[in-house]
Amino acid sequence: MYLLNLKSKLLTLTAIFVALSSTAPLAIAQSIDISSMEDVKLKQDFLTGSKAGTLNSNDLLKKLSAFSSYPAPAAFKDSIYYVNDAVYGNVPFKLIIPKSYNPLVPNALVLLLHGAVKASSFQDALPGHTNSEVETDPLVNALRKTNYIIVMPYADPKKNFDWVNKGYGKKDNQTFNSLINLLTQVKAVLNVDDNRVYAFGHSDGSDGAFAIDIYKSYFFAGFASYNSMFNYLFAKNLYLRNAVNRPLYVVHSDLDDLRPMLQTRAIVKLLDSLKTPITYKEYLGYQHQDKHLMMDFNNSIAFMNSSIRNPFQKNLYWETNDLANSGVDWICIKQFDLLAPKADWHKTYNLKAYNKKTKSWYDNVQYYSKADESAAIMASFSNNIFTIQTSRVTQFEILISPAMVNMAHDVIVILNGKQVLRKKVNADNNYTLSAFSKTHDRKALWVNHLSITINAEN
pTM value is 0.90
Query: 124, 154 in Cβ contact below 8 A?
Result: yes
Query: Is 360 a member of any domain?
Result: no
Query: Is 288 a member of any domain?
Result: yes
Query: Is 344 a member of any domain?
Result: no
Res 255 pLDDT > 80: yes
Nearest to 57 by CA among 435, 332, 413: 435
Q: What is the pLDDT of residue 351?
A: 80
Q: Are residues 99 and 238 located together in one domain of the fold?
A: yes
For residue 23, what is the DSSP state? T
Q: Are residues 19 and 93 located together in one domain of the fold?
A: yes
Q: Are residues 113 and 227 located together in one domain of the fold?
A: yes
Res 234 pLDDT > 60: yes
Euclidean distance between the first and the last CA atom of the chain, given in angstroms as a whole number: 35
Q: What is the pLDDT of residue 366?
A: 60
Query: 124, 16 in Cβ contact below 8 A?
Result: no
Range of the domain at 205: 3-306
Count of domains in the chain? 2
- What does the alpha-carbon distance between residue 386 and residue 423 come to, in Å, rounded to a whole number? 12
- List, for residues 83-121, the tens digit of each pLDDT value: 888 899 889 999 999 999 999 999 999 999 999 999 999
Query: Is 391 a member of any domain?
Result: yes
Q: Are residues 252 and 324 located together in one domain of the fold?
A: no
What average pLDDT does this structure show over 192-203? 97
Nearest to 311 by CA among 443, 411, 402, 427: 443
Three-state secondary-structure class, residue 349: coil
CA distances from 260 to 135, 229, 320, 425 (A): 27, 8, 28, 52
> How many Cα neighbours within 13 Å face the side chain of 347?
8
Q: Are residues 274 and 397 located together in one domain of the fold?
A: no
Q: Are residues 80 and 100 located together in one domain of the fold?
A: yes
Q: Are residues 275 and 331 located together in one domain of the fold?
A: no
Domain final residue, candidates 286, 306, 326: 306
Q: What is the pLDDT of residue 319?
A: 97
pLDDT confidence band for 76 (50 / 70 / 90):
confident
Query: Is 183 a member of any domain?
Result: yes
CATH number, position 218: 3.40.50.1820
- What does the alpha-carbon distance between residue 270 and residue 349 come to, in Å, rounded to a whole number? 8
Three-state secondary-structure class, residue 437: helix
Give residues with Cβ within 8 angstroms of 16, minimum separation 6: 26, 28, 79, 80, 81, 82, 90, 92, 125
Three-state secondary-structure class, residue 398: strand
Q: Are residues 213 and 331 located together in one domain of the fold?
A: no
Domain final residue, candidates 306, 325, 346: 306
Cβ neighbours around 417 below 10 Å, total: 8
- What does the alpha-carbon distance between residue 422 and residue 390 come to, in Å, rounded to a whole number? 19
Which letter, b or e, does each residue of 19-41 get, where b requires 16 or more Cβ atoms within 10 Å of its Cβ?
eeeeeeebeeeeebebbebeebb
What average pLDDT does this structure show over 382-406? 98
Q: Are residues 190 and 292 located together in one domain of the fold?
A: yes
Which letter, b or e, does each residue of 137-157 get, where b requires 16 or more Cβ atoms within 10 Å of its Cβ?
bbbbeebeebebbbbbbbbbb
Give the residue, 318 or 78, on which the prediction is more confident.
318
- List, for residues 416-446, the tens digit of each pLDDT value: 999 999 999 999 998 998 898 888 899 999 9
Q: Are residues 268 and 325 located together in one domain of the fold?
A: no
Three-state secondary-structure class, residue 112: strand
Domain final residue, candidates 306, 326, 357: 306
What average pLDDT does this structure show over 325-330? 97
Query: Is 24 a member of any domain?
Result: yes
- The percent of residues in the chain predicted with pLDDT above 90, rounded, is 63
Q: Are residues 165 and 78 located together in one domain of the fold?
A: yes
> How many Cα neighbours within 13 Å face the side chain of 159?
20
Three-state secondary-structure class, residue 126: coil
Query: Is 275 a member of any domain?
Result: yes
Query: 113, 208 in Cβ contact below 8 A?
Result: yes
Q: What is the pLDDT of residue 365?
A: 59
